[in-house]
Amino acid sequence: MMTFDEANAFLRKRKNLPTELGSFELSEAFDAKLRAQSFFSARVSDERVLEVLRRMSDKVSKGEIDVAGARVFVKKFLAKNRPGQYDPEDGSITNLASTARLNLIFEQNAKMAAAVGRYEVDRSPEVEERWPSWRYITGARSRADHARLDGKVYLKSDPFWHKFYPPWEFNCNCDVENSDETPGSIAPKDYPEEPLSGYKFDPAHAFESFDTGKIKDPAARKRISGEMKQKFSVREDAQNILSMNEKTALKPSGTPVSNALLVKAKNAEVNDSVRAAIAAVDSVHGDGQLAQNTTIFGKSLRIGLQGETVWKPGGKYYLNISNGADRKALTCLHELGHFLDWSGLSDAPTRGKTATISHPMLEEWRNAVKKTETYKILKKRCDQLEKKDKKTKEEKEDLKHYRYLLSPEELFARGYAQYIAGKCSDVKIKEELDKELKSGYCRAYHTQWDPEDFKIVSASFDKLFLAKGWIK
């Protein structure tokens, strides 16, 4: 059974792309990004046939059915619903009803899904800090150009992996393993030739925004755009509503967030700050269904920890705000940002999983953050430290902290706190934000955005909450 949540998310996120193109034509028409985000097969233009293939392929990838069972199902479907179109006696790879072709489709897609799951886990900040590189492991009976890579170690950030992360060819059964070796910022450029088959796959693209503009067929482009809007329930009028409300304040809509929260902070200052933060949120936006009876405590947390959001099995959450937090209301807003991310926006609200990495509704927010000067400075500093061969203890700690600050869920929580502080009318919360912006820590690590730099991020929150129906 597949164990990577990211692999399952990859299977759900892909779009069906019917096509009349053959394998070599596809290599020219579909770049690596489009391939990583789509389900297709050479010369399969029948939408219903492709959907059946997709359904069986996903079941194989998840371990719900074996390849033989999926193959039998598809062959029976083709014989019954497309009689005469596919010859069951033709064993060639070009015949969709052949065992060889179906095996290739199911096995290759299963390898791709597993690769995405492994890639996402291995590139998480805490894992990459411990194991900054991958060692290439050649599979059994591998081709010569695959065998020559056996045992080679490259940094996970090396562009090598964009072309040669397994599987990088049909029937590739190679693998990678984490390594704490650091071969340097640039690996030797003795790369093999790219596959003659035209096969391209880069797991780094799996959760990037799906660009329908790259689909050359107008009918397919229109169909997939419609499917995306329907699947993710995005209000198409969000931009129009924003334009209409440029001169009038947006108002909260839906269930008040406070309905899901219980405050049990014994420290009077924490209690007052938490209640002020919750009132500020209610004044800006509502919500849909959140985990009920989520309790907020005041606690004595370890030095340096201002607050924390904790998920418990079964979908329960609680928030801890440090009794010694410098800016308690702003800290509470930060932790409420995590809570809304996990419980209000995530596809898996009972499992404590962030929506910020790949959920399509947050794509505009992700793009907005990456356009800010604050993000660019953080990213540049992180990249500079990653490329440095020998790092001091302090530099290693800085790199670890930059990776943490650049993680999507932390960017979301910090942005959410600043968004609410900017939108609400609470003078004390606005003062806390101002003090945070002027603090030595913020100036050193660029943890918050200058007001002008934040405008594009604030607008993306507006559009997200409008699309969700949380403001009107």
pLDDT exceeds cutoff 50 at 232: no
Specify the pLDDT at position 371: 95
Is the Cβ–Cβ distance between 157 and 129 less than 8 Å?
no
Lowest mean pLDDT among 129-138, 198-207, 249-258: 198-207
Report which listed range, 99-108, 241-250, 311-320, is most confident.
99-108
For residue 30, what pLDDT band results from cuts at 50, 70 and 90?
Answer: low
The closest alpha carbon to 174, from 113, 115, 123, belongs to 115
The closest alpha carbon to 205, from 38, 51, 437, 451, belongs to 38
Distance (Å, whole) CA 71 – CA 83: 17
Specify the pLDDT at position 103: 94
Per residue in 111-149, pLDDT (tens digit) is 998 888 888 888 877 788 888 999 999 988 888 889 989
Specify the pLDDT at position 241: 45
Specify the pLDDT at position 200: 82
Q: Which two tokens stand for residue 337?
A: 């940002």
For residue 214, what pLDDT band results from cuts at 50, 70 and 90?
Answer: low
Specify the pLDDT at position 414: 97
Q: Bin 141: left if φ > 0, else alpha if -120 < ψ < 50, else beta.
A: left
Q: Which residues pair with 46 in a beta bridge?
A: none
Specify the pLDDT at position 185: 47
Per residue in 148-157, pLDDT (tens digit) is 899 999 999 8
Is the Cβ–Cβ distance between 188 and 338 less than 8 Å?
no
Per residue in 344-353, pLDDT (tens digit) is 998 778 777 8
Residue 342's φ and ψ, nearest 5 degrees, are -75, -40
Q: Which two tokens stand for residue 375?
A: 């993000």
For residue 417, what pLDDT band results from cuts at 50, 70 and 90?
Answer: very high
Specify the pLDDT at position 146: 92
Per residue in 34-93, pLDDT (tens digit) is 777 788 888 898 989 999 999 999 999 888 899 999 999 999 999 999 988 888 888 888
Specify the pLDDT at position 224: 53
Q: Which two tokens stand for residue 49?
A: 């046939």
Is the Cβ–Cβ distance between 82 and 96 less than 8 Å?
no
Specify the pLDDT at position 139: 84
Specify the pLDDT at position 187: 53
Which amino acid, residue 387?
K
pLDDT exceeds cutoff 90 at 375: yes
pLDDT exceeds cutoff 70 at 210: no
Specify the pLDDT at position 212: 55
Choice between 370 and 216, residue whose per-residue pLDDT is larger? 370
Specify the pLDDT at position 247: 43
What value does the mean pLDDT take over residues 12-38? 75
What value does the mean pLDDT take over residues 372-385? 95
The closest alpha carbon to 23, from 38, 37, 44, 52, belongs to 44
Is the Cβ–Cβ distance between 257 and 420 less than 8 Å?
no
Specify the pLDDT at position 243: 47
pLDDT exceeds cutoff 50 at 266: yes
What value does the mean pLDDT take over residues 426-453? 95
Specify the pLDDT at position 231: 44
The closest alpha carbon to 430, from 439, 415, 417, belongs to 417
Can you tell me which residue has the tokens 């930059």? 402
Strands lying side by side in the sheet with 307-312: 261-263, 294-299, 316-322, 307-312
Q: What residues have CB less than 8 Å from 225, skipping those under 6 apart?
A: 212
Specify the pLDDT at position 360: 82
Choice between 226 and 355, residue whose per-residue pLDDT is larger? 355
Peptide linkage before 188 cis (omega within 30 of 0) = no
Distance (Å, whole) CA 197 – CA 24: 6
Per residue in 215-227, pLDDT (tens digit) is 555 665 565 555 5
